[in-house]
A = this chain, B = another copy of it.
Amino acid sequence: MDLTLIASNLLNPPVLFFFLGMIACFVGSDLEIPQPIPKFLSLYLLLSIGFKGGVELHKSGLTAEVAIALGAAILMAIVVPLWTFLILRKRLDINNAAAVAATYGSVSAVTFIAAGSFLSQLGIPSGGHMVAAMALMESPAIIIGVALARKLGSPGGTPVSWSHLLRDAFANGSVFILCGALVIGAVTGEKGGKALAPFTSDIFRGMLCLFLLDMGILSARRIRGIRQFGWFPVVFALAVPLVNAIAALALARFIGLGPGDALLFTVLCASASYIAVPAAMRLAIPEANPGLYVTMALAISFPFNIIVGLPLYMAIINRIWS
């Protein structure tokens, strides 16, 4: 594996701020970014990434290539929660298995954004439609997870309101702002893109640093508590992203994505949601333990993807694509 890739990932300021957050927690610093600042940063990041993706999409247009990429995204968003559920059922009860499956079937926007920042550091281009792919991959796993819990769960469980659930899945704040900004970007095109660029592009990396600082703190806080759940969640949270990444790489190669898009597609499949899905699961499967599924996604798979995954997946792409 290419050492310069590892270095250029580890020397990326956002990743360094993520480490800094983790260290802050480990040395017992009281450093924290109080709510609702992280919520504001996350809204900002989603708005910016959506808007810029839309502007790019306006340039490229809706080609067949774009359609195929989006189809592949939906496919993975359906397959991943199903196969992970089968694995999870071996060790967890139905509710927790369904919630974890939904978590891993969905995506982490920040991992995606960090991958984009990594690509731009390497000078590798990527398409605006990958943002649309991300938006499409956020929600299906929520539906599948809840359906699994309902179909297979005890009949005395929480009755589910499907109309509520669909709304929570497709109209939750994160998905909504992402899609909305994407549409606005696509509608206003380059003119709008230029007008907002100082906000959505120039200060973007700095805002990402601040957000990842917070994510580092939150991850580290949870790492301590992970032991209570035994070894299974840890192994799962390290192995499943890898397996999903390999499947994604194969699929990306098969449908002919470029290297930049392939990396983004891979991190989407390899990452797990800790924003949209937990918010939905709290309401739809309250019997599941957020301490389990949030911790797995946030404290293990997220750092793994950010630190090890990005250069690893890129190295594989460099080898196979060239």
Partner-B contacts on A (CB < 8 A): 11-13, 16-17, 20, 23-24, 27-37, 39-40, 43-44, 47, 51, 121, 167-168, 171-173, 176-177, 180-181, 184, 187-188, 192, 195-196, 198-200, 202-203, 205-207, 209-210, 213, 279
- The answer for the CA separation of A172 and B32 in the assembled complex, in Å, is 10
Residues of B near A176 (CB, < 8 A) are 24, 27, 29, 31
A29-B172, A37-B36 known; A17+B198 contact, CB < 8 A? no
Is A13 a contact partner of B196 (Cβ separation < 8 A)?
Answer: yes
Q: How far is the CB of A178 from chain B (nearest CB, A)?
A: 10
Q: Which B-chain residue is minimally distant from A117 (CB atoms)? A: B195
Residues of B near A187 (CB, < 8 A) are 11, 16
> Closest 9 interchain pairs by CB?
A199-B206, A198-B202, A31-B173, A29-B171, A34-B36, A20-B180, A29-B176, A199-B203, A16-B184
- Oligomer: number of copies: 3
- The answer for the CA separation of A167 and B168 in the assembled complex, in Å, is 43
Residues of B near A184 (CB, < 8 A) are 13, 16-17, 20
Is A28 a contact partner of B171 (Cβ separation < 8 A)?
Answer: yes
Is B188 a contact partner of A199 (Cβ separation < 8 A)?
Answer: no
- The answer for the CA separation of A315 and B40 in the assembled complex, in Å, is 37
Q: How far is the CB of A99 from chain B (nearest CB, A)?
A: 19
Q: How far is the CB of A16 from chain B (nearest CB, A)?
A: 4
Q: Given contact pairs A12-B192, A28-B171, A32-B173, enumerate 17 new A-B contacts (beta carbons under 8 Å).
A: A11-B187, A11-B188, A13-B51, A13-B192, A13-B195, A16-B187, A16-B188, A24-B177, A28-B167, A29-B172, A30-B173, A31-B177, A34-B35, A177-B213, A195-B205, A198-B203, A199-B206
- The answer for the CA separation of A199 and B172 in the assembled complex, in Å, is 29
A13-B195, A167-B28, A196-B13 known; A43+B47 contact, CB < 8 A? no
The answer, among B27, B36, B195, for a CB contact under 8 Å with A167, is: B27
- The answer for the CA separation of A203 and B27 in the assembled complex, in Å, is 31
- The answer for the CA separation of A212 and B48 in the assembled complex, in Å, is 15
Is A11 a contact partner of B192 (Cβ separation < 8 A)?
Answer: yes
- The answer for the CA separation of A167 and B16 in the assembled complex, in Å, is 22
Q: How far is the CB of A168 from chain B (nearest CB, A)?
A: 8
Residues of B near A210 (CB, < 8 A) are 43-44, 47
Is A200 a contact partner of B196 (Cβ separation < 8 A)?
Answer: no
21 of the cross-chain contacts (CB-CB < 8 Å) are A11-B192, A13-B184, A13-B188, A24-B180, A28-B171, A29-B171, A29-B172, A29-B173, A33-B40, A33-B43, A34-B40, A36-B36, A43-B210, A121-B195, A196-B205, A198-B198, A198-B206, A199-B207, A199-B209, A202-B203, A203-B203
